[in-house]
Amino acid sequence: MTLALYNTLSRRVEPFAPLAPPRVTLYTCGPTVWNYAHIGNFRTFLFEDLLRRYLAYSGYDVFHIMNLTDVDDRTIKAAATAGKRLEEHTAPFIQAFFEDRDYLRMTPAHVYPRATQSVPAMIRLVERLLERGVAYKGDDGSIYFAIAKFPSYGRLSRLDTRELKIGARVASDEYAKDDPRDFALWKKAEPADEQVGAAWDAPFGRGRPGWHLECSAMSLEQIEKCCRAETLDLHAGGVDLIFPHHEDEIAQSEAATGKPFARFWLHGEFLNVRGTKMSKRFGNFLTARDLRDQGVDAAAVRLLFWQTHYRKALDFTDEALAGAGVGVKRLGEFYERVKREAGNGKREGRLAELAAAFETDFRAALDDDLNAPRACAALFELVHEANAALDAGAPGAAAALGVFDRAMQVLDVLPTAKRVDAGLARWIEDRIAARDKARKSKDFKEADRIRAELAGRGVEIEDTPSGTQWRVV
């Protein structure tokens, strides 16, 4: 099989091949940094991480762009409410996003263009649209995109545009999904914009970019720099961005370049918390840092997300997270076991056969529109069968370890290693030595007491043919 992905543009699963293999250009809509990103945002970002990692696993050279929206209606309002300049308000939330990204083990994008640092590219894009006659200056001083001048408007979201309100305009970033109107490319500067430092001079009037314009300008600028291209291979985001955001991106980008903006559009579904859409009002609003502060292993979050296909709604519950935590622990134990056995025999044998069969199933699952649930099922089947083979003394652990490591480069769901300071490590080794001595002298009561003492400090031990192994849990 070759990789096939569900393309929102065609509503079909299509074989994927980049325009200029092995290079793949990938643009993912990043956070709006007016506040902390919540786990619903990270459900989307993690599906994109899976896509990015699997493309690399499949041999592609990925160039990944993720923008940071640091100027829009929400950031300006939040900065004004806080009595701060825009940059002062957004800076800590940008830093928090990067910390959350690292906690959840997301592979960093190659570039993170910020809207406020990309205004010249946005001005150039508006000028191109004005020159082509698909943009115009409204009586309010803002620049609008004339969707009646772009006949294919609505094909991504499948909008019925026959009842367009010709000439009707909408200046806000988000608007009714069943009422497409000419949207703002460049908004005339208002007192609130000037107050927080969100206004720039442009040939067509002082103002600020519209949200939709930002992503088009940033993505086109970056792929021109890296690849001399005007078409993305892949553009991804949440389903809530299909309209108006992505629809408007297509219109303004293609009207400017005359070329397809993105060949594949991928969209991840929503995340619900305890069966309800996440909301501060319902008291089920969770951020990534909430999970980190609660001591939740990022591997458990990743595994939980992989157990539901990215195009299906995911229900985030305490029970589901705990179950994923148990699965992560099992994977960690298997990994440690197969690592110990890897140096003890041939690469061929029953374990190698099991690993090869798993790798075939793993690839087939992810080639089928990133079917992570099926890939995870194959992974746990490998653990079950390989543990039985190890119990029987089967050879081939080294080959199995190599396959397992490659799968982890994609899924990355092994337990997070606990940092153990030197003093604790010495104490653990001393207690294990004392326990070994007690066992040799058949003082099993003392050996059990030491095991319990270790457990009280969060230390698990396992007796193996090569000695007692320990880990902090």
Q: What is the pLDDT of residues 273-303, one digit of tens each?
A: 877 777 666 667 799 999 999 999 999 999 9
Strands 314-316 and 271-273: parallel
Phi/psi region, residue 300 (left: phi>0; alpha: psi -120 to 50; beta: rest), is alpha
Are the beta carbons of 9 and 156 closer than 8 angstroms? yes
Catalogue all structural domains in the chain, each as residue range(s) with its CATH number.
4-273 (3.40.50.620), 296-411 (no CATH), 422-472 (no CATH)
Q: How confident is the model over 3-32, as a mean pLDDT?
A: 97
Q: What is the pLDDT of residues 24-60, one digit of tens each?
A: 999 999 999 999 999 999 999 999 999 999 999 999 9
Q: What is the pLDDT of residues 79-96, one digit of tens each?
A: 999 999 999 999 999 999
Say if residue 1's pLDDT is above 80: no
Separation CA 272–CA 314 (nearest Å): 6
Q: How far apart are the first and last CA of the chain?
A: 40
Identify the band that residue 159 occupies on the pLDDT scale cut at 50, 70 and 90.
confident
Separation CA 215–CA 195 (nearest Å): 24
Give the position of tokens 């992974």.
379
Rg, the chain, Cα only:
27
DSSP assignment string, 139-193: TTS-EEE-GGG-TTTTTTTT--GGG--TT-EE-SSS--TT---EEEEEEEP-HHH
Q: How confident is the model over 222-247, as a mean pLDDT?
A: 96
Separation CA 243–CA 249 (nearest Å): 10
DSSP assignment string, 245-278: IIHHHHHHHHHHHSS-SEEEEEEE--EEETTEE-
Non-local (6+) Cβ contacts of 180 within 8 A are: 147, 153, 154, 159, 161, 164, 243, 244, 247
